[in-house]
Amino acid sequence: MATFDINKYRQMFLEEAEDIFETIDTILLDAEETNDMDTETINSLFRSVHTLKGNSASVELAMFAALAHELEFFMDRLRNGDLTFEEGMASLLMEGIDTLKQILELELSEQLEDHFYETTKSVLLQKLNSFSEDTAEIAIINEIYGEENQEFGLITPETVGEDFGLLEIHDGETIDDIPESLDDYFGFFDDEPTPAPIAIESSDDSFGFFDDLISTATSDDSFGFFDEMDLKAITSDDTEGFGFFTETFSAPENKIESAPKVVKEIEKANKSDKVDKVDKEIKKTKIDNTVSSIRVDLSKIDELMNNIGELVIAHSMLTQYTSTMEDQKIKSDLSERLDLIDRHIRELQESVMSVRMVPMETVFSKFPRVIRDTAKKLGKKIDFRHSGESVEIDKAMIEGLTDPLMHIVRNAMDHGIESSEHRLKIGKSETGILMMSAEQANGQMIIKIQDDGSGINVDRVTAKAIENGVIEEHQAASMSKEDKAMLIFAPGLSTAKEVTDISGRGVGMDVVMSNIKKLGGIVKVDTEDGFGTTLTIALPLTLAILDGLNIRVGEEQFILPLSVIIESLNPEPEMIKQIGDKSSEILMLRNEFIPIIRLHELFNIQLEDDHQLTDGLLIVVRSGSDKVALFVDEFMNQQQFVIKPLDKNFRNARGIGGATVRGDGTIGLIIDTMNILERTTY
Amino acid sequence: MAIIESNQLLTFKLGSETYGIQINKVREILTYPTVTPIPDASAWVKGVINLRGEVAPVIDLRVRFNINMDPIYTQRTIIIAVKTQDNRMIGLVVDEVSDMENVDLERLYPAPDMGTSISPEYLKGLFKKEEKMIVILDIDRILDKDEMKRLSRQSNEAQNVYSASA
């Protein structure tokens, strides 16, 4: 059994790589925008690429690893000051990362040809090297001015020895040179420096030591320190002050034995005259430090969920047994304790559910890069804004959601937002705005994608739909503007005059629709000619748990998702109309005609005699964008259900969307209203 | 001769004959629980049950192979829970569970092409024990996902034709 399955590890690597690529993209985009890259950023870039290199090599992706090595080498030079960041570098690095992604894909599918690889690599290397030459001069200058710059430059182990290892120098020079300015710069230190009780007696002079930040003497007998300081190290030596050390620096000799704190940010900090900028830096570092996470297979969480389900069932069996007991004392004692267990189980269930939830940020973070690239390709200026990053969404949904969103965004950029020139001509600002927002409302996840472009040309869409036979002319006449706009989701419909490589082939929007439907969501389009389009997607918060209503149909019980129910009523005989024979009944409700589906017939449930609609209840539900009235006998209770797929072990049944394990251990079937009409919706 | 685990059979009865499946496919033997019927399913699919947290279909082999088209289900009806090659959990309704047998799978008699209500493609072969015959079922073949889909679709179409004409 202990065969080494490289694919398993490759899968793990892939998942990890995806995250890392995302991180890198974010960093680079940021760098491009601000046209700056600080030391911390470079370090984190370097680490990311380094991880990619190391891990890819361990899963035997040699070519990928070699390429990653080149990028790493480049970043290493950036890191140690051989190169300085300049315009265009972020863009080049992005290109490099894209090449990496491409190589990874090809190497995984074993379609990577040596020739292709070599060319790609040499092209990239050439580009990278062009930067090296440009900046060589700067590097030399840095070297020349090295001495003057010593407090400010990035300190490498070699330089530390001479410049900072000796504390006399530090005292002599640094204190003279920087203290006042540092006071100004580092307003984020404790205003009233907190004395460190242990360290105080053991040293005469003052210290300031800070994690990741420059440290220097501030004032007599006072300390400013960060939480990560190593008190032991401080008290164990009687030095008068601490120098600056880089992470890679190992403390020389006896002066500082456990190099107390690391200074990565000297250059940055000294240059920066804005405290808030440094503050931000600290925040960033803090986040990096506190968020620790592990990667868990989703199926393991499902398993956990299953086990809890079993626990619930065992619990309800016990409860049932208790209720049959005769001794009242024992009975009440037992049920009290059972209630306690019940509460714990619920809490457990909630925590397991929360494990599955991830912030929407995970979704949003995929976009800036794509939008930048697409905008560049289209020659448009687009400002991407998003809100609601912290709204949580089921991890299982993200995969199904990213593709449709990507498609919508691409469409909005290509067809929606106009070119800069055109925008200026019609009096809009040059830069188009693309907004994406997420919020939770009414137990649903609402995602909006909004652009301020030209809007959907409803007439053209309708004309095209008629031309393609999606709808008939007479249908179009009776359609509302919203309905017509929804036609963009019809398969094979593109009003783009030209097919570009971004969009326009007409495949896609229908896939968007079907993907979102698959997630149990609905899409709405609002468009205003000349002012833009808003797409609203409403999704259930989770795929795993559903609020449902138990309904009785004959002897059987089914579960109806609460989210699809619009209203329910006890029909009066005059509300029910018929078209043709008895098989097609229609509910006339206010100004609407809603088809009635008798669940008894749909599910082949036997009934003794002629069943009157007025004997039971009609529940009006959403079925896609239509309404359907379901005829049931009775409402039961409302409950939360853990959804389990029916087709894992079997196959799907018409009108059934899934199953759940009920409290008594039996299976309950969940009605899927989406395909209940078995009508081919667009 | 060393006994290889998969050569052990669980034997059970469908009608009067004895059948066997490899023991390593069997996960559990249980008595007939409350089965939730699935609308729009074939007659041999009795419905779904909760098998260790999974929604598993229950298939009546007697109906499936036309051995008994109108069986009675009581609390003593037996379900053998099997796990297929592709990790699906499925419950099989049988008349009674008999025994365990060691069988050399290399020395089976091929199933005859005729004279059996079960098509030979679903059989691994026949095994003779004293005067008894054990029919060894190829459970992965019988419960093949596509095969089941195909069969249930056939019977659905038959139903639809019926309901359309009615």
Confidence tier at B82 by pLDDT (50, 70, 90):
very high
pLDDT, position B12: 92
- Output the CA–CA distances (angstroms, integers) from residue A259 to A208, A214, A263, B131, in the order listed: 14, 14, 10, 87
Which residue on chain B is closest to A661 by alpha carbon?
Answer: B50
With pLDDT > 70 as the criterion, what percentage of chain A qualifies?
Answer: 70
Q: Looking at the predicted structure, is the pLDDT value of residue A76 above 90?
A: no
Mean per-residue pLDDT of chain A: 72
A653 band by pLDDT with thresholds 50, 70 and 90: confident
Question: How far is C-alpha A43 from the chain's CA centre?
Answer: 24
* pLDDT digits 0-9 by tens, A432-451: 899 999 988 766 788 999 98
More confident residue, A71 or A385: A385
As a whole number of angstroms, the distance between CA A297 and CA A299 comes to 5
Average pLDDT over every residue of B24-33: 89
- Which run of H or of E encompasses A513? helix A509-518
Residues 549-568 of A with CB under 8 A from B: 556
Region class of B130: left (phi > 0), else alpha (psi between -120 and 50), else beta: left
At A581 the pLDDT is 67
Sort out which chain A residues have CB atoms less than 8 A from B28's CB and list them: none
Instruction: Please give the pLDDT value at position A213.
Output: 40
Nearest to B53 among A306, A604, A664 (CB): A306
Q: Which chain B positions have a beta carbon within 8 Å of A317's beta carbon? A: none
pLDDT tops 90 at residue B90: yes
The full set of domain ranges for chain B reads 5-165
Please check whether residue B125 is in contact with residue B22, taking contact to mean a CB–CB distance below 8 angstroms. no
* Confidence (pLDDT) at B156: 54
Confidence (pLDDT) at A579: 79
Asked if the Cβ–Cβ distance from B36 to A669 is below 8 Å, we say yes
- Residue A209 class from Cβ within 10 Å (0-12 exposed, 13-18 middle, 19+ buried)? buried
The stretches of A291-327 forming alpha helices (DSSP H) are: 298-323
A585 contact partners, CB below 8 Å, separation of at least 6: A576, A577, A578, A595, A596, A598, A613
Q: Is the CB of residue A213 less than 8 Å from the CB of residue A269?
A: yes
Least-confidence region, from A2-16, A186-200, A508-522: A186-200
pLDDT of A619 reads 92
Annotate A7-47 with three-state secondary structure: HHHHHHHHHHHHHHHHHHHHHHHHHHHHCCCCHHHHHHHHH
Q: What are the chain B neighbours of A320 within 8 Å (beta carbons)?
A: none
pLDDT band (50, 70, 90) for residue B49: very high
Helix (H) or strand (E) holding A52: helix A39-58
Q: If contacts are CB pairs under 8 Å, which of residues 337-366 in chain A contact chain B? A: none
Mean pLDDT, residues B153-159 taken together: 54
- CB A649 to CB B38 under 8 A? no
Query: What SS3 class is residue B165?
Result: helix
Give the pLDDT of residue A644: 80
Q: What would the pLDDT profile of A530-588 be if each residue is shown by its tens digit?
A: 888 899 998 877 766 777 899 998 888 899 988 788 899 988 888 888 877 666 788 88
How high is the pLDDT of residue A40?
A: 79
What mean pLDDT value characterizes chain B? Answer: 80
Distance CA A154, CA A40 (A): 11
Structure tokens at A22: 């995302």
Top mean pLDDT of A83-97, A255-269, A523-537, B114-128 is at A523-537
If pLDDT is split at 50, 70 and 90, which confidence band does A210 have?
very low
Asked if B90's CB is within 8 angstroms of A649's CB, the reply is yes
The pLDDT value recorded for residue A151 is: 42
pLDDT of residue A437: 92
Instruction: Please judge whether B55 and A644 are an interchain contact, meaning their C-beta atoms are less than 8 angstroms apart.
Output: yes
What pLDDT was estimated at residue A165?
37
Per-residue model confidence as pLDDT tens digits over A272-310: 444 444 444 444 444 454 567 787 887 888 788 778 877
Mean pLDDT score, A101-114? 81
Q: Mean per-residue pLDDT for B23-28?
A: 90
The more confident residue out of A193 and A38 is A38
| β partners of residue B94 | B78
pTM (two decimals): 0.53
Query: What single string gives the DSSP state of each residue in A116-153?
Result: HHHHHHHHHHHHHHHHHHHHHHHHHHHHHTTTTTTTTS
Q: Distance, in angstroms, between B48 CA and closest chain A CA? A: 7
Close Cβ partners of A583 (under 8 Å, ≥ 6 residues apart): none
Q: What is the mean pLDDT of residues A155-173?
A: 40
Residues from chain A contacting residue B149 (CB–CB below 8 Å): 651
For range B32-57, the mean pLDDT:
86
- Residue A604's pLDDT is 80
Residues in chain A: 682
* Cα of B166 to nearest chain A Cα, Å: 11
Mean pLDDT of A194-216: 41
A108 vs A118: CA distance, rounded Å: 17
Instruction: Please tell me the distance in Å from B56's CA to the nearest CA on chain A.
Output: 6
With 50 as the cut, is the pLDDT of residue A136 above it?
A: no
pLDDT, average across residues A618-643: 83
Q: Which residue in A has a C-alpha nearest to residue B85's C-alpha?
A: A649
The alpha carbon of residue A669 is apart from the nearest alpha carbon of chain B, in Å, by 8
The number of C-beta contacts closer than 8 angstroms across A and B is 83
d(CA A16, CA A374) in angstroms, rounded, equals 25
Q: What is the pLDDT of residue B29?
A: 92
Instruction: Give pLDDT tens digits for A538-549.
Output: 887 776 677 789
Among residues A430, A414, A412, the alpha carbon closest in space to that of A378 is found at A414
Contact B55 A646 (CB under 8 A): yes
Closest-approach residue (CA) in chain A for B56: A649
Q: Please name the amino acid found at residue A99.
A: T
**Is-contact A181 A219, C-beta < 8 A?**
no
User: What mean pLDDT is predicted for residues A248-261?
Assistant: 41
Residue A401 has pLDDT above 70, yes or no: yes
| Rounded-to-integer distance, Cα B55 and Cα B89, Å | 8
Q: Mean pLDDT throughout A598-619? A: 79
What mean pLDDT is predicted for residues A629-641?
85
Q: A103-112, A238-247, A482-491, B134-143: lowest mean pLDDT where? A: A238-247
Contacts with A, B 57-76, CB within 8 Å: 57
Better pLDDT: A92 or A260 = A92
Q: Which of A190-199, A368-377, A468-477 has the largest mean confidence?
A: A368-377
Q: Cβ(A643)–Cβ(A353) under 8 Å?
A: no
Longest pairwise C-alpha distance within chain B = 62
The residue that leads in pLDDT, A235 or A512, is A512
pLDDT recorded at residue A530: 83
Percent of chain A with pLDDT over 90: 3
Q: What is the pLDDT of residue A200?
A: 39
Instruction: Name the pLDDT band for A161 (thresholds 50, 70, 90).
Output: very low
pLDDT of A608: 65
Q: Which CATH architecture has domain B5-165?
A: Beta Barrel (2.40)
CB distance A654–B40 less than 8 Å? yes
In this complex, which of B50, B56, B148 lies closest to A666 when CB atoms are compared? B50
pLDDT higher than threshold 90 for residue A11: no
Phi-psi region of B159 (alpha: psi -120 to 50; beta: other; left: phi over 0): alpha
- Best mutation site among A600, A667, A669 for testing chain B: the one with the most B CBs within 10 Å? A667
Spatial separation of the C-alpha atoms in residues A240 and B115, rounded to whole Å = 101
For the record, the structure tokens of B105 come out as 């799978």
Which one, of A187, A186, A203, lies nearest residue A195 by Cα? A203
In the 8-state DSSP scheme, what is residue B16? T
Residue B158 forms contact with A (CB below 8 Å)? no
Q: How far apart are the first and last CA of chain B?
A: 62
Banded model confidence at residue A380, pLDDT cuts 50, 70, 90? confident
Read off the pLDDT of residues A503-524 as tens digits, 9 standing for 90 and up.
Answer: 544 456 778 888 887 787 888 8
pLDDT at residue number A609: 64
Mean pLDDT check: name the lowest of A162-166, A324-328, A648-652: A162-166
Structure confidence at residue A189 (pLDDT): 42
Say which residue, A202 or B78, is predicted with more confidence.
B78
Which residue's entry shows tokens 């995806």?
A: A18
Of chain A, the end-to-end C-alpha distance in Å amounts to: 48
pLDDT bucket at A138, cuts 50 / 70 / 90: very low
Of the two residues A58 and A501, the one the predictor is more confident about is A58
Q: Is the pLDDT of residue B62 over 80?
A: yes
